[in-house]
Structure 1
Amino acid sequence: MILKDKTQTSSASVKLDAGIKQEHDVAFYLRRAYKNSDQVMVLNDLRIEHDGESAQIDHLIVYTYGFIVVESKSIRGEVKVNEYGEWTRSYKGQWSGMPSPIKQAELQLKLLKQYLCANTEKVIGKFLGIQQGLGARCYDVFCAISSDAIIDRSNAPKDIADKLVKSEFIADALDKKMNFKKFYNVVGKIYDTRPTFSQQELSHICQFLLGNTPQIESDSVNEAHAAWPSPGNTSSTTEPLPVVVPAAVNNTWDSTVSAAQPLHINSITAQCKHCGDCSALSPQSGRYGYYVQCGKCGGNTPLKRPCQVCKSQNTKVSKSRLLYQLVCQGCRNTADVFKVQKG
């Protein structure tokens, strides 16, 4: 069951855009696998705070036997993990070190466990007058890597290699780890000594996690549940997940101007988010609104982006003949984002 979906967000960085898309891809596979499950609860983009520390968890799985943190990692090119668990990655033929996303997920999981154990009475109740514990439950992590990455696990320690999967295999890895016994596997159930959560306890746990820490949400009106296109779908009739491309804007906002007075930025340069070209773009419309298609690489780039004045995500793209404009629903700023050139 999907209790907190991945919020549609965007950024002003190509690198961050790739990370956002990777999180959406993983959320898509999790939703496909568990949206109708009563034993598996999925919370995307979950923020927790405890003892002066905070963590933003990409994907948290709360299931009958415990908790699994899934860290999404966007990697183009090749990634290697050596025998010491150290990570390196290639980008345009250049190799460099990178922080271990497995270690990052483990730190998030540790904070989650401390947070839950410190609030046991609020999270789950008593059984036969005895307070149940959370420390002995199952706690695991996985790292979901971009599907187009090349992963070299040949020298990686087994415990790390087993936690490193590509996005499309994340549900398979989770199913294996959660290891639900089939209803006919009586022997397996008898010898399964893992403490379990009841359906009511699962509900209480998720309500506690969602209700006790303010969740950072986008104010975008495009947030949708169970309606994202599948990863890699870039047909001309279905627009990819909205992202923001770098824009050439030299205007500044005078904070003394009333927000009730519409402002106008002459133009925001549209460019292909895949190859960076600005000269071979053609306007299109799809399921998620207006976008431009690159005549050089064929990639699609949404015209929708945050307001350049107040940074609000609550914007809309409107068309008037040959001109496409971005209108902020907050400060009412209007900016030209694309104009069809005649001839």
Structure 2
Amino acid sequence: MSARRATVRVGGWSLRLRPRTVAVSSLLVLAALAIAVVNLSTGDFPVPFGEVVRSLLGTASDGTGYVVRELRLPRVAVAMLVGAALGISGAIFQSLTRNPLGSPDFIGLTVGAATGGLVVMLLLGGSGLSVAAGALVGCLVTFAVIYLLAFRRGAQPVRLVLMGIGVSTMLVAFDTLLIVRAKLEGAMQAHRWLIGSVNSSTMLEVALIGGALVVLLPPLVRYGRELEMLSLGDEAAVAHGVRAERSRLVLAVISVALAAVATAVAGPIAFVALAAPQLASRLTRAPGANIGAAAAMGAFLLTASDWIGRRVLPLDLPVGVVTAALGGLYLTWLLAGEWRRGRQLV
């Protein structure tokens, strides 16, 4: 592993870059963009690549421009942005908990968002933006409960994971109760939403997830050094002047907010937040959270999964089905590898 790093300074800000990490991240972004162009080009109304570019520039015919910009572009953009948000969220939590299972999927945040959406959908009769708002609130409330339950002279990583698993289990049981007691139409709608999908995305969803990334990335960059220190343990962080508990809470809130908005926009898409940081870390071979590489990997995974669900498989499947299948294989491989090394994940 190369230890070479370049430091970029802008005013009072400094950013350390590793050439391999930059190269891997750039290749992942280019791969995600290439698949995005393929998704924009293919469908019931095929559009040549040149026409796709002209449509994005606003110089294509009205019919082609409508198909590309209005029907396909929101879906492609949401897939990339949601994937990036989930990748970042998973990277932060895995770094804070120092555990490859410390992702929003496993510590109950995604389930909490699903519970909030189901409450609005099945109990309050809401739809659309109200369900998204319910998912956002549900995720934030679930994190608050987990954090308070895990807090004992600080919220230690192991307690966060264990409390998250316990709360997640109870919420899954509650979600099942809601669906069982719902009317048939409502239950079917709930099942579709729980799968996770970008099929009906609009520019409003693009604006929501894009706005969340724009707002939350600056404080994440600000606390990037603290995240690197906390990944080494509280004692090392404190020795370097980091206020461990405050920094952990701020970083956790950033991660929760990203996971909450991503779930509100696309539903509870499984395993991207779990797999993206780990796969990015293995490719970059760099220590730490690898936020940029995790974001690029998340965007690539979700964009590729959407393409697989639409064009590779015989059925037009929601992206959540594909990520769940691929994520299950990845989790099995991860657990087998950790057991062979004699490590415990929790």
TM-score (norm 1): 0.26
Pick the structure with more helix per residue.
Answer: 2
When you count strand as a share of all residues, which structure comes out higher? Answer: 1
State the TM-score, normalized to the length of structure 2: 0.25
Q: Which has the higher contact order (CA 8 A, sep 6+)?
A: 2
